[in-house]
Amino acid sequence: MRRRRGSKVQSVSLSNNTVESHIADLSLNINDEVVARMKKAGKWSYQLDESTDTGKNAQLMVYVRYEGDTDLEEQFLFCTPLTTTATGTDICNVVDSFQQNEGINLEHCVSLHTDGAPVVLGAR
């Protein structure tokens, strides 16, 4: 007896926990790949953007630009909530913590760009 194609799809577990687990695994793999490419390039620049989501929570998004095998590459590096305040010091601490966790040396960062918002610059 032949199985219908739909039955294979229906047998895939799509519970919240399973989907969440797959997304987390994919995110870690992408993060590891981007960090490995940064380290291979040897020099990179960051672009930071702090914004507020619909729940009025501050989020920090970090992009990285580095020289790839054939051209400059720009990749999304990470997004994290700013749980305390969103001052320039807090943002620097988040980036520094990420670098330490990934074994990245700040000395290889050749530039850091922001949108110039007072919160990122430390002005009130």
pLDDT, tens digit, for every residue of 83-116? Answer: 877 778 888 888 999 999 999 988 999 998 887 6
The first and second tokens of residue 72, run together, are 């400059």
Give residue for tokens 């760009």. Answer: 113
Task: Identify the band that residue 16 occupies on the pLDDT scale cut at 50, 70 and 90.
Answer: low
Q: Report the predicted TM-score, pTM, of the whole model to 2 decimal places.
A: 0.71
CA distance 44 to 84: 28
Query: What kind of fold does domain 15-121 have according to CATH?
Result: Nucleotidyltransferase; domain 5 (3.30.420)
The first and second tokens of residue 3, run together, are 């199985």
